[in-house]
Amino acid sequence: MARKSKAPEERPAKVDLDAFMKKARKFMRPYRVSKGKNFRLKDIDPGETAGLGSEAKPRSKEALQNGVQALAQLQDMLYAQDRWSVLLIFQAMDAAGKDGVIKHVMSGVNPQGCQVASFKTPSVEDLDHDFLWRCNKQLPERGRIGIFNRSYYEDVLVVKVHPEFLGSAKIPPRLIGKDIWENRYRDIRSYERYLANNGVIVRKFFLHVSRAEQKRRFLERIENPDKNWKFSASDAKERAHWKEYMKAYEEMIRETSTEDSPWYVVPADNKWFTRVVVVAAVIEALDSLDLHYPEVGADKLRELAAAKKALLAE
């Protein structure tokens, strides 16, 4: 433990967490789903900004900066304490802003205490295993924040929209019945319960972008040479399945939102708003843990004093 403890002057600058959370909570709470039963996607408008107009944009940048600083402070203790780990899962349609959120929200965090994994089309090796396997390998170590850019939830999203993918997943045909999705939701709930029981805090974010805003962002990617690399023709093809995706997202949220691992359905048409909501939710999650720097005991103090004496006597 002492291996990771720090002199107070090396610790990140302090932000008044209580004051920050008091303000941030009112932005973030409406989007948290911890009981999915009555959840309806149409109740959350992707264009929502909690009543704030674009004049709030500069203030939101300041709030994000405060949030990032608070996060750095909490993450430093998380790492030093080396007990809990935090898993943040991001799911969204293309161009909803996952990459930008990850970049901005984690910008103040010590890279040593943070790990990001992106899950794309499964490899041959991935398909030779159960659907949780590739994600389970990438879980954050204790003391760290792990980010999943997509996750095992793709297996109840893209795979549900394209059930033919189940074929390439080499699942024995007789296990591919009508109840396959129900089973997967249940397995995910149990898996996340298991993680919670082992000190892994799970928070899930669905960045909810509108179809019209996605079109605008795709066009920007096509027209702006610096953004061409972000565009792939297959992304545009998936747009044709928009309704099926929304249905799959809604069902996923209804079935896998729990008190321990809630979903945040974050309006994503305005990036400045999305980022503030996400940072606030992450801070609340960390703040709910009993984070503190490890205490230096009497034995350790004696050891330090002896070492100092020996060094000075050289």
Binding partner of 155, given Mg ion, ligand AMP, none, CB within 5-8 angstroms per partner class? ligand AMP
Binding partner of 293, given ligand AMP, Mg ion, none, CB within 5-8 angstroms per partner class? none
For ligand AMP, the binding residue among 48, 76, 155, 269 (CB under 6 A) is 155
For ligand AMP, the binding residue among 48, 76, 154, 213 (CB under 6 A) is 154
**Residue 192 interacts with Mg ion (CB under 5 A): yes or no:** no
Please give the residues from 101 up to 130 whose contact with ligand AMP meets the rule CB under 6 A.
119-122
**Residue 158 interacts with ligand AMP (CB under 6 A): yes or no:** yes
Closest C-alpha among 128, 159, 124, 127 to residue 248: 159
Query: 182-194 burial, b for 16+ CB within 10 Å, e for fewer?
Result: eebbebbbebbee
CB of 21 to ligand AMP, least distance (A): 31
**Residue 221 interacts with ligand AMP (CB under 6 A): yes or no:** no
Binding partner of 158, given Mg ion, ligand AMP, none, CB within 5-8 angstroms per partner class? ligand AMP
**Residue 192 interacts with ligand AMP (CB under 6 A): yes or no:** no
Please give the residues from 55 up to 94 whose contact with ligand AMP meets the rule CB under 6 A.
94
CB 20 within 8 A of CB 251: no
- Select 20 or 119, whichever has its Cβ closest to ligand AMP: 119
CB 266 within 8 A of CB 28: no
For Mg ion, the binding residue among 48, 76, 94, 269 (CB under 5 A) is 94
Residues that bind Mg ion (CB under 5 A): 94, 235
Residues that bind ligand AMP (CB under 6 A): 94, 119-122, 150, 154-155, 158-159, 165
